[in-house]
Amino acid sequence: MDVVTVEEADSAFPATDAPAYLARHGIKAQLHSWSRTDRPTEIALRDAMASLHADWVVMGAFGHSRWRELIFGGVTRSLLRTAPVPLLLAH
């Protein structure tokens, strides 16, 4: 199992808690910190899916105000439309 996080340039804390939590339940997981590098987060996630040959993805689904999503879009909405693999969303 792979755990992927898309890191902002100024992020100082990797998401090490997720693999540790899974390990306590007998699930071996490898953490991948994916750099955003001047691209939208949803594109970085799609690149990670392709590179890691993901069969499906579990991700958090977060919403913002309708006005903000109308203007700026959203990662969840974008991936619902363009993900190359099935998504399991949790809020």
Domain 2-90 superfamily per CATH: HUPs (3.40.50.620)
pLDDT digits (tens, 9 = 90+) for 12-28: 666 778 899 999 999 99
Q: What is the pLDDT of residue 51?
A: 94
Nearest residue to 27 via CA among 38, 19, 15: 19
Dihedrals φ, ψ of 76, to 5°?
Answer: -60, -50
Q: Where are the alpha helices (DSSP H) in the chain?
A: 17-24, 41-51, 66-72, 75-82
pTM: 0.76
pLDDT tens digits for range 25-72: 999 999 998 888 888 888 999 999 999 999 999 988 776 676 666 665
